[in-house]
Every structure is written in C-alpha cells, then in structure tokens.
Amino acid sequence: MKTKRALFISFEGIDGSGKSTQVKMLYHYLLNEGYVVHLFREPGGTSISEKIRSILLDKNNVEMTPIAEVLLYFASRNQLLHEKVLPALERGEIVLMDRYVDSSRAYQGVGRALGARPLNYLTKFATYDRKPELTILVDLPLETAEDRLSEKNLDRFESESMQFKRKVRSGYLNLAKKEPSRYLVVDGRASPDDLFRQIKLRVQELLD
C-alpha cells in the first residue's frame, strides 16, 4: 500500500452534474494504484449522519426552516469528520468527499439565501476550517442536469424550482472564482472518460 501523504479532495456540483460518477472513478483508480483511500458522501457516512440524511432528503419535510436545514448538514458533517475523516487524514490516507462545505455554501448560503456570514461561522465552528486541498466543481447547465435526473425518484432538493437550482449553480461558480487555486472547474457536458482525464491530471500533480 502506498501511504505517501494525506490528501483531502471534495467533489461539488448541482444534482445530476455527474460528480458521483467522477468521484467513484477516482476512488477506484487510486485504490488500483495502491493508495489507502476513503470515499464518503454527504450528508451521510456514519450511522448518525445517515439518520440525519434521511431527515434532510425526506420530501415530506416541507416545513423545515433554512436554519434547521443548515444546522443539520453541519451536524452530520461534524460527526463524519470526527468518526472518519480526521482520523484517516491523520494516518496519512486519502479522503474523497462526494460533497462537503461548499455544498452548504451554495445550497443554503446562496440557494436558501442565508448569506456568507452564518456559513463562515458554521464552517469554523463545525469543521475547524479544515478545507480540502482540491475541490472539483463539475459544472453543468441546469437543463442538461434536469434531463439526467428525470428518470429518478426525486428527493427534496432534486424537486426544487429551477430558480433555486440556478442560484446554486451560480453560487458554486462564484465560490470557484474566489478561490481559484483550490478549485478545478470542469465542463460536465464532456464524456465521463474525458472528465476523468482532466481530474486525474490535477490529482496526479498533488500526489507527485
């Protein structure tokens, strides 16, 4: 097993952007290369976090306030950090996240209009400002993402209005503009193999 150095990478994008496909490809690639690598999806990843996930995604929870929502995301995240992510990074392993703090910034901060201040505070309080070294944003026009989701049984966020999704997408693009060195933005209209080639190149640079 290769245990070169800890590496923390997150994948972000609107629902249906193709990020889960990419994070899984990277996971299997790194495993094959002999690295110790973990893949977590948010919300979830621990038994408490999975319970919180089912509350958050339940389509019947229409009365949930934006503040209750953001606190639940950070509660799930803090539990996952303590149980799994921080110990793995301390052991010098690779952690891949299918969504992390930037999801809360884009969906709750921008989509739900909570603003940057509470998100900055919660990020410090509940994640100790532990940022990924690299965040891959798979950007995709809303209409293309809608087409990809149309076959699925949609959850609470996937059923949101186009206006909400538009805000989330532009929220992500603004975050990437503010921190260009942490972000790799890829065009999700490319084929899975094409996207993976771009992502692998950047990850390889970090590992070398």
Separation between Cα atoms, residue 175 and residue 147, nearest integer Å: 25
**Minimum distance between the CB of residue 82 and ligand TYD, rounded to whole angstroms?**
17
Stretch that binds ligand TYD, among 84-92, 98-106, 179-187, 195-203 (CB under 6 A): 98-106
From the list ligand ADP, ligand TYD, none, which binds 157 (C-beta under 5 to 8 Å, kind-based)? ligand TYD
Query: Do 153 and 57 touch, CB atoms closer than 8 A?
Result: no
Residues facing 79 on adjacent strands: none
Stretch that binds ligand TYD, among 2-10, 23-31, 95-103, 121-129 (CB under 6 A): 95-103
**Minimum distance between the CB of residue 61 and ligand ADP, rounded to whole angstroms?**
20
C-alpha 66 chain-centroid distance? 19
Tokens of 186: 């890829």
Contact residues for 53 (Cβ-Cβ < 8 A; gap 6+)? 43, 44, 76
Separation between Cα atoms, residue 112 and residue 146, nearest integer Å: 20
**Minimum distance between the CB of residue 207 and ligand TYD, rounded to whole angstroms?**
25
Q: Does 155 bind ligand TYD (CB under 6 A)?
A: yes
- Applying CB under 6 A, among 18, 43, 45, 109 the residue interacting with ligand TYD is 43
The full DSSP string for 151-177 is TS---TTTTS-HHHHHHHHHHHHHHHH
User: Minimal CA–CA distance to 134: which of 167, 103, 96, 162?
Assistant: 96
- Applying CB under 6 A, among 157, 169, 185, 188 the residue interacting with ligand TYD is 157
Q: Does 104 bind ligand TYD (CB under 6 A)?
A: yes
Binding site for ligand ADP (CB under 6 A): 13, 15-21, 148, 188, 191-192, 195
CB nearer to ligand TYD: pick between 36 and 55: 55
Contact residues toward ligand TYD (CB under 6 A) are 15, 20, 41-43, 57, 73, 98-99, 103-104, 107-108, 155, 157-158
